[in-house]
């Protein structure tokens, strides 16, 4: 018989913090708490040995302490599948310091509580959710972020129709895959996903920013709108919202929650770079950069790749060449672009203004307005490439476990 009790290791040199969090977590009878009253670095490798016996490692740390960073990296290198690392840091930590912790392998970075009143509910929620999750059940929704190398290149068309094709209700020989897909429009100022799908106006993201709360599953259930073919959509606000009105932890919570109930989460990003994009890139399994072959677009595409790989060096980035059919033989311009981007140009979407405009005007995806058009077929191939990458990753993970 297997033990259903899940275990949390709490590491902090502050006995007050230990008592505060420990007593709160112990109210859940399904959790076993073990506390070490010292720093991660002071444990001198004992945390690595103890990690195999715990589902969550919750520890107080300082991103300015290189000994702590080294200790975190040692934990990351040795942790078993399913173990979650949650760092508690001073509330004045900078974005660059958070990045250093996530690069070292931390899954979540949360503010350190000082009193019972300040105890952040996210600490308890994350610890409980991570510990209760069975270690053998590691499946989660795959996050695909879509961005653009220049304005007007068609990234929203790609995001909308990719989400639609991934559902699998049409296309691919009429097969029904039964996939659950969520589409999130994070272009707070000029997002048009809602218009593309003729959805009612929805200001959930704006309300989220105004209230300053961290969304949960109930909030998202009420905020998501069902689009054609069953895609769950969170449109951009119908009213103007400042790009910096969202916080990184709010965006992270949206993605983490949607991943629990969807097979794919498609995120349409704004062209501007804001601080809350970081949790998207940290969590993304794949980034699609939509571009054309113009020199300015290719240069900007290169800058985007360099920027995003700083936050997630292992991020899979694919280039989607829009408004151009796949050539039988790539020209010198294509080869030079591929060399500059250090990426193969395998994904092409033909220029099909009639099909794209007709779909947008009718508020429906291409699968319902022009499934046999060149652009409709190309969107199906794009979605298939995303599925193929998912299956390839699953095979690699399976072989690693063996």
Q: Residue 101: which pLDDT band, with cuts at 50, 70 and 90?
A: confident
- What is the domain-level CATH number for residue 291? 3.40.50.300
* Predicted local confidence at residue 53, as pLDDT: 75
120 with 187, same domain?
no
Q: What is the pLDDT of residues 310-344, one digit of tens each?
A: 767 778 899 999 999 999 999 999 999 999 999 99
**What's the pLDDT band for 172 if we cut at 50, 70, 90?**
very low
What is the rounded CA–CA span in Å between residue 193 and residue 156? 7
Say which CATH number the domain at 57 has: 3.40.50.2300
Q: What is the mean pLDDT of residues 172-177?
A: 47
Domain identity same for 113 and 190: no
Of 98 and 180, more confident: 180
80, 113, 132 - which closes a domain = 132
Assess if residue 166 is contained within a domain. yes
pLDDT at 370: 93
- Look at residue 402 and tell me whether its pLDDT is greater than 60: no
CA 371 – CA 277 distance, rounded (Å): 33
Structure confidence by residue, pLDDT tens digits, 372-387: 999 999 999 999 999 9
pLDDT score for 127? 58
CA distances 341 to 155, 289, 322, 337, Å, are: 18, 11, 16, 6
Residue 398 pLDDT class (50, 70, 90 cuts)? low
Asked if the structure places residue 289 within a domain, the reply is yes
Given 69, 101, 132, the domain boundary residue is 132
How many domains does one find in the chain?
2
Identify which has the larger pLDDT, 171 or 29. Answer: 29
Q: Which residue has the higher pLDDT, 402 or 161?
A: 161
pLDDT for position 49? 75
Q: What percent of the chain clears pLDDT 90, i.e. is strictly above it?
A: 37
Mean pLDDT, to the nearest integer, of 225-253? Answer: 88
pLDDT at 368: 93
Are 112 and 208 in a shared domain? no
Domain co-membership, 112 together with 252: no
pTM higher than 0.85 for the full model?
Answer: no
* Neighbour-count burial for 275-285, b at 16+ CB within 10 Å, e otherwise: ebbbbbbbbbb
Residues 336 and 278 in one domain: yes
Q: Is residue 347 part of a domain?
A: yes
Does residue 151 have a pLDDT over 50? Answer: yes
Which of these three, 111, 132, 153, is where a domain ends? 132
Q: Does residue 65 have a pLDDT over 80? A: yes
pLDDT interval class at 126 (50, 70, 90):
low
What are the b/e assignments for 1-40, b being 16+ CB within 10 Å?
eeeeebebbbbbeeeebbebbbebbeebeebbbebbeebb
Is there a domain that residue 137 lies in?
Answer: no
Choice among 126-140, 210-224, 308-322, 388-402 with the minimum mean pLDDT: 126-140
Residue 69 forms part of a structural domain: yes
Q: What is the predicted pLDDT for the residue at 173?
A: 42
Q: Does residue 287 have a pLDDT over 50?
A: yes
pLDDT over threshold 60, residue 176:
no
Q: How far apart are CA 357 and CA 286, in angstroms?
A: 27
Q: Is the pLDDT of residue 220 over 70?
A: yes
110 and 162 assigned to the same domain = no
pLDDT for res 174: 45
Read off the pLDDT band of 275 (50, 70, 90).
confident
Q: Is 164 found in the same domain as 105?
A: no
In this structure, the answer to whether residues 104 and 186 fall within a common structural domain is: no
Q: Check whether 175 has a pLDDT greater than 50.
A: no
Give per-residue pLDDT as tens, 10-41.
Answer: 888 888 888 877 776 665 555 677 888 888 88
273 lies in the same domain as 345: yes
* Domain membership of residue 87 as a residue range: 6-132
Question: How confident is residue 189, by pLDDT bands cut at 50, 70 and 90?
Answer: confident
Mean pLDDT of 227-248: 87
Residue 334: inside a domain: yes
- pLDDT score for 4: 44
What number is the average pLDDT over the span 102-125? Answer: 66
pLDDT at 280 over 80: yes
CA 141 to mean position of chain CA atoms: 9
DSSP line for 229-285: GG-EEEPPPSS---GGGS-HHHHHHHHHHHHHH-SEEEEE--SS--TTHHHHHHH-S
Beta bridge partners of 234: 184
Q: Are 224 and 357 part of one and the same domain?
A: yes
- pLDDT for the residue 9: 83
Query: 109 with 147, same domain?
Result: no
The answer to whether residue 1 is domain-embedded is no
Which string of DSSP letters, residue by residue, matches 6-51? EEEEEE-S-HHHHHHHHHHHTTSTTEEEEEE-S-TTTTTTHHHHHH
What pLDDT sits at residue 320? 96
Question: Does 388 map to a domain?
Answer: yes
Let me know whether 88 and 155 are in one domain.
no
* 217 has a pLDDT exceeding 50: yes
Give the pLDDT mean for 111-125: 58
């Amino acid at each position: 018989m297997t033990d259903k009790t899940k275990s949390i290791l709490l590491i902090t040199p502050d006995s007050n913090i230990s008592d505060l969090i420990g007593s709160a977590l112990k109210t859940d009878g399904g959790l076993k708490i073990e506390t070490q009253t010292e720093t991660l670095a002071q444990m001198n490798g004992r945390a690595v040995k103890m990690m195999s016996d715990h589902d969550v490692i919750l520890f107080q740390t300082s991103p300015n302490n290189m000994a702590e960073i080294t200790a975190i990296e040692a934990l990351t290198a040795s942790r078993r599948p399913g173990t979650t690392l949650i760092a508690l840091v001073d509330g004045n930590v900078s974005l660059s310091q958070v990045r250093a912790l996530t690069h070292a392998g931390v899954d979540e970075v949360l503010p350190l509580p000082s009193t019972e009143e300040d105890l952040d509910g996210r600490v308890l929620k994350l610890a409980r959710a991570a510990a209760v999750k069975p270690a053998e059940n590691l499946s989660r929704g795959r996050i695909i972020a879509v961005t653009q190398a220049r304005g007007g290149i068609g990234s929203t068309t790609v995001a909308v129709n990719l989400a639609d094709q991934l559902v699998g209700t049409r296309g691919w020989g009429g097969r029904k895959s039964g996939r659950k897909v969520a589409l999130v429009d994070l272009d707070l100022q000029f997002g048009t996903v809602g218009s593309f799908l003729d959805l009612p106006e929805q200001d959930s993201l704006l309300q989220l920013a105004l209230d300053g709360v961290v969304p949960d599953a109930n909030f998202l259930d009420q905020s998501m709108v069902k689009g054609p073919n069953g895609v769950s959509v969170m449109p951009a606000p119908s009213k103007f919202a400042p790009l910096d009105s969202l916080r990184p932890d709010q965006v992270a919570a949206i993605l983490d929650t949607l991943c629990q109930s969807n097979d794919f989460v498609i995120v349409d990003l704004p062209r501007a770079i804001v601080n809350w994009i970081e949790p998207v890139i940290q969590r993304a399994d794949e980034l699609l950069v939509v571009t054309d072959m113009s020199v300015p677009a290719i240069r900007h595409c290169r800058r985007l790749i360099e920027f995003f790989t700083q936050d997630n060096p292992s991020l899979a980035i694919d280039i989607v060449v829009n408004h151009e059919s796949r050539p039988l033989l790539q020209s010198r311009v294509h080869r030079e672009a591929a060399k500059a981007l250090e990426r193969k140009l395998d994904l092409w979407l033909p220029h099909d203004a009639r099909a794209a405009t007709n779909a947008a005007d009718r508020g429906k995806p291409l699968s319902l307005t022009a499934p046999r058009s060149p652009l409709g077929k190309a969107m199906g191939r794009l979605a298939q490439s995303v599925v193929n990458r998912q299956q390839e990753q699953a095979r690699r993970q399976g072989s690693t476990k063996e």
